[in-house]
């Protein structure tokens, strides 16, 4: 299966997408296109099989955001200005259950990293941030994400990754 990752298109088949999490399914089915095309608050990228170019296998959504500087552990903001940190929000990332365990999540987050680097170069930002479900914290940690202090243990855990870490990792693999 040859996978292509590209921006969501209005004609993509999202109705059968099922990652096992109804809020993530619902976002793709009901809000992703509107947020992308009509109100410009997030851009959704989809993974498709090139032989079935409209069926969505997985997706992620990126948006911009900022977080107060004091939210980060001190060692990560030492020497930075005392105002909110501009960042890229990895708002959602999901893989259809039929394609889990086949490296699609890795392909999606790798593409998100490449886009984050381009955005950081064009507009300036320091971090990529994600809200990880408790059962996915270890998965994000393998990519270098670090949990922010505090937070409600009954809600997704906010985690961040320094853009410089992504840049160094991609240079090593190039």
Tens digits of residue pLDDT in 108-122: 999 999 999 999 999
pLDDT for residue 171? 78
Is 140 among the residues known to form the active site?
yes
Annotated catalytic residue, options 45, 59, 127, 140? 140
Residues in CB range of 153: below 8 A, 6 or more apart: 134
Mean pLDDT over all residues of the chain?
90
What's the average model confidence in pLDDT over 41-55?
89
Which residue bears the tokens 């009954």?
154
Topology of the domain covering 3-173? Aminopeptidase (3.40.630)
pLDDT for residue 52? 78
Q: What is the pLDDT of residues 14-46, one digit of tens each?
A: 999 999 999 999 999 999 999 888 778 899 999
Residues in CB range of 115: below 8 A, 6 or more apart: 45, 62
pLDDT for residue 174? 63
């Amino acid at each position: 299966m040859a996978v292509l990752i590209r921006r969501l298109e209005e004609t993509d088949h999202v109705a059968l997408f099922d990652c096992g999490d109804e809020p993530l399914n619902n976002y793709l089915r009901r809000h992703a296109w509107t947020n992308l095309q009509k109100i410009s608050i997030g851009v959704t990228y989809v993974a498709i099989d090139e032989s079935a170019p409209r069926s969505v296998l997985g997706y992620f959504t990126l948006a911009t955001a900022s977080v107060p500087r004091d939210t980060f552990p001190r060692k990560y903001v030492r020497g930075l200005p005392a105002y909110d940190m501009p960042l890229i929000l990895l708002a959602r990332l999901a893989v259809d259950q039929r394609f889990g365990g086949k490296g699609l999540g890795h392909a999606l987050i790798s593409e998100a990293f490449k886009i984050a680097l381009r955005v950081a170069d064009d507009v300036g930002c320091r971090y990529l941030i994600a809200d990880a479900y408790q059962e996915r914290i270890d998965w994000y940690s393998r990519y270098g994400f670090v949990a922010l202090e505090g937070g409600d243990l009954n809600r997704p855990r906010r985690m961040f990754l320094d853009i410089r870490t992504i840049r160094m990792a991609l240079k090593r693999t190039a």
